[in-house]
């Protein structure tokens, strides 16, 4: 089983370039099958979830051509099937985007129920509510969602809770519905705006993305497009926290600083120096970083996907911090792993009390999910001695060349596939 093995204790210093936003790319790839013309997508992250989506698009008969590592051409004119189901697509959350895309274009979809990281309940009832409001009949059989409609007709849809996935899914289906659809209490995340902009580049008529009311005037068909995906907010935030955790100095490049405001604000509260440029942010950590309180909220609040990384930073800050997780109920599983390193964190319900410690010690760890896995790696790079992180398949779902980018910042880290390789690395670095 592949693992990361690292020797910590050195600050991470330098510049790192951020790739395309995984969460935007997943919705955009699904939307790309909504036209019969060529679609060119650039700044595509080369991560496992993206590659699974591309294989699923191929499987239903579309043409998928990788132009280079970060660019793809998709042509869905020869799609022969509205069934999306295999052992891989069932393991990622974004499989549900095929429902909105196929239902919009073909008025029919049969898609495996989604998987993804086990960080808590993520029902798709709001997605189904939206599809039903547009006139679709929905059945769930054999682990699949079956959606069919004679015609899709616009509707006013109120989301009971803010949902990124439901907002994107309904937006896709409504783009090819008859009439004007209004989504109220819509999610406002940057990747909502990016998917809307992509659909508009294909001829859709969507207004209000990025606000809590989105209005979609349905069109008869969509056309081809060339589109570049926005930078990944969470990858950028992870490297910003890497500076704080390792007491380093990192410039995060090729980003949209506006998207990072909640993260920047908390790092500044902790005492880090945060310098903003047009398309970059520099985070300079301090030795005497202090505690602060965090509550995860929908955008523009503090992102739930950054909660493990900021909690790890707080574990090394002076004083007591409270971290409240308001999005997912099972996102503190990594705390038991951090405890092996000497942290002082107590979890009750959706709240963690973090009492900062002076240092961490290396340990053998397991990544419980994507973002927690990245946080554990950063903890290992700050710890005294050697740390191993198993189950790095989770990390590879959302971070492109994570190891390589860390090495470029001075990290002593390597991916190994066997105990024998790990022993060689240990002998080499002792």
15 and 26 both lie in a single domain: no
DSSP state of 32: G
**Residue 93 annotated in ligand binding:** yes
195 and 163 both lie in a single domain: yes
Tens digit of each residue's pLDDT (9 = 90 or more) over 170-202: 999 999 999 999 999 999 999 999 999 999 999
Residue ending a domain, among 198, 228, 258, is 228
142 and 235 both lie in a single domain: no
Contact by Cβ (8 Å): 345, 353: yes
What's the rounded mean pLDDT across residues 100-124? 79
What's the rounded mean pLDDT across residues 45-53? 94
Does the pLDDT of residue 419 top 90, yes or no?
A: no
What's the rounded mean pLDDT across residues 226-242? 98
**Cα 430 to Cα 416: distance, rounded to the nearest angstrom:** 17
66 and 184 both lie in a single domain: yes
What's the rounded mean pLDDT across residues 307-322? 98
Residue ending a domain, among 208, 228, 248, is 228
pLDDT given at position 418: 63
Catalytic residue among 117, 192, 204, 260: 117
Does the pLDDT of residue 42 top 50, yes or no?
A: yes
Does the pLDDT of residue 122 top 60, yes or no?
A: no
pLDDT given at position 121: 44
What's the rounded mean pLDDT across residues 339-353? 97
422 and 289 both lie in a single domain: yes
Q: What are the phi and psi torsion angles at 347 (to 5°)?
A: -110, 130
What's the rounded mean pLDDT across residues 55-63? 94
What's the rounded mean pLDDT across residues 360-383? 97
pLDDT given at position 426: 57
What's the rounded mean pLDDT across residues 394-421? 91
pLDDT given at position 94: 83
Quickly state the pLDDT bin for 421 (edges 50, 70, 90): low
Contact by Cβ (8 Å): 289, 272: yes
Q: What are the phi and psi torsion angles at 258 (to 5°)?
A: -55, -35
Per the structure, the complete domain to which residue 139 belongs is given by 22-228
302 and 399 both lie in a single domain: yes
As for how many domains the chain has, the answer is 2
Residue ending a domain, among 167, 198, 228, is 228
126 and 154 both lie in a single domain: yes
Does the pLDDT of residue 24 top 60, yes or no?
A: yes
Contacts of 35 by beta carbon, 8 Å cutoff, 6+ apart: 76, 105, 202, 221, 222, 223, 224, 225
31 and 7 both lie in a single domain: no
pLDDT given at position 115: 64
Does the pLDDT of residue 213 top 90, yes or no?
A: yes
260 and 377 both lie in a single domain: yes
**Cα 43 to Cα 362: distance, rounded to the nearest angstrom:** 36
**Residue 122 annotated in ligand binding:** yes
pLDDT given at position 119: 46
**Residue 207 annotated in ligand binding:** no
pLDDT given at position 428: 52
What's the rounded mean pLDDT across residues 353-377? 97
Please tell me the total number of residues recorded for the chain in this structure.
Answer: 430
Quickly state the pLDDT bin for 329 (edges 50, 70, 90): confident
224 and 251 both lie in a single domain: no
Residue 301: CATH number of its domain: 3.65.10.10
pLDDT given at position 142: 85
**Residue 126 annotated in ligand binding:** yes
Place of tokens 């009311």: 213
Beta strands at 249-253 and 280-284: parallel, antiparallel or unpaired? antiparallel
For the question of residue 272 being annotated catalytic, the response is: no
**Residue 23 annotated in ligand binding:** yes
Tens digit of each residue's pLDDT (9 = 90 or more) over 145-176: 999 999 999 999 999 999 999 999 999 999 99
Does the pLDDT of residue 87 top 80, yes or no?
A: no
pLDDT given at position 301: 97
Tens digit of each residue's pLDDT (9 = 90 or more) over 263-283: 999 999 999 999 999 999 999
DSSP state of 105: H
148 and 293 both lie in a single domain: no
Taking Cα atoms as reference points, which of 55, 23, 28 lies closest to residue 225? 28
**Cα 395 to Cα 174: distance, rounded to the nearest angstrom:** 33
pLDDT given at position 117: 52
pLDDT given at position 424: 64
Contact by Cβ (8 Å): 338, 366: no
- Among the listed ranges 244-258, 398-412, 415-429, which one has the minimum average pLDDT value? 415-429
119 and 8 both lie in a single domain: no
pLDDT given at position 89: 82
**Residue 327 annotated in ligand binding:** yes
What does pTM read for this prediction?
Answer: 0.94
Quickly state the pLDDT bin for 120 (edges 50, 70, 90): very low
What's the rounded mean pLDDT across residues 246-263? 98
DSSP string, 113-176: PP----SS----HHHHHHHHHTT-EEEEETTEEEEE-S--B--EEE-SS--HHHHHHHHHHHHT
């Amino acid at each position: 089983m592949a693992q990361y093995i690292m020797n910590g204790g050195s600050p991470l210093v330098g510049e790192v370039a951020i790739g395309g936003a995984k969460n935007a790319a997943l919705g955009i790839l699904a939307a790309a099958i909504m036209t019969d013309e060529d679609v060119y997508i650039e700044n595509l992250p080369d991560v496992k979830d993206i590659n699974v989506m591309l294989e699923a698009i191929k499987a239903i008969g579309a043409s998928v051509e990788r132009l280079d590592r970060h660019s793809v051409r998709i042509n869905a004119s020869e799609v022969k099937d509205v069934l999306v189901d295999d052992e891989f697509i069932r393991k990622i959350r974004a499989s549900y985007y095929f429902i909105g895309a196929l239902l919009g274009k073909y008025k029919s979809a049969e898609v495996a129920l989604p998987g993804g990281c086990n960080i808590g309940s993520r029902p798709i009832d709001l997605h189904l509510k939206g599809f039903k409001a547009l006139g679709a009949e929905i059945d769930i059989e054999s682990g699949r969602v079956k959606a069919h409609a004679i015609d899709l007709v616009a509707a006013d849809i109120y989301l009971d809770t803010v949902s990124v996935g439901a907002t994107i899914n309904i937006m896709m289906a409504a783009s090819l519905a008859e009439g004007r659809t209004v989504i109220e209490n819509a999610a406002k995340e940057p990747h909502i705006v990016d998917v809307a902009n992509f659909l508009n580049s294909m001829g859709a008529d969507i207004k209000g993305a990025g606000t809590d009311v989105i209005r979609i005037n349905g069109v008869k068909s969509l056309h081809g497009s060339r589109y570049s995906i926005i930078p990944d907010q969470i990858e950028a935030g992870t490297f910003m926290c890497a500076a704080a955790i390792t007491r380093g100095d990192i410039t995060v490049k090729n980003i949209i600083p506006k998207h990072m405001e909640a993260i920047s604000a908390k790092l500044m509260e902790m005492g880090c120096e945060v310098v903003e440029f047009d398309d970059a942010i520099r985070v300079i950590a301090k030795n005497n970083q202090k505690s602060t309180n965090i509550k995860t909220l929908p955008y523009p609040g503090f992102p739930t996907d950054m909660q493990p990384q900021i909690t790890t930073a707080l574990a090394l800050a002076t004083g007591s911090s409270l971290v409240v997780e308001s999005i997912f109920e099972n996102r503190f599983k990594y705390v038991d792993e951090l405890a092996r390193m000497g942290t002082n964190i107590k979890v009750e319900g959706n709240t963690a009390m973090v009492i900062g410690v002076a240092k961490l010690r290396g340990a053998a760890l397991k990544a419980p999910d994507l973002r927690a896995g990245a946080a554990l790696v950063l903890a290992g790079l700050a710890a005294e001695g050697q740390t191993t992180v198993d189950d790095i398949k989770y990390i590879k779902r959302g971070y492109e060349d994570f190891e390589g980018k860390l090495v470029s910042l001075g990290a002593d880290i390597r991916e190994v596939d066997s105990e024998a390789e790990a022993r060689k690395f240990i002998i080499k670095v002792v």
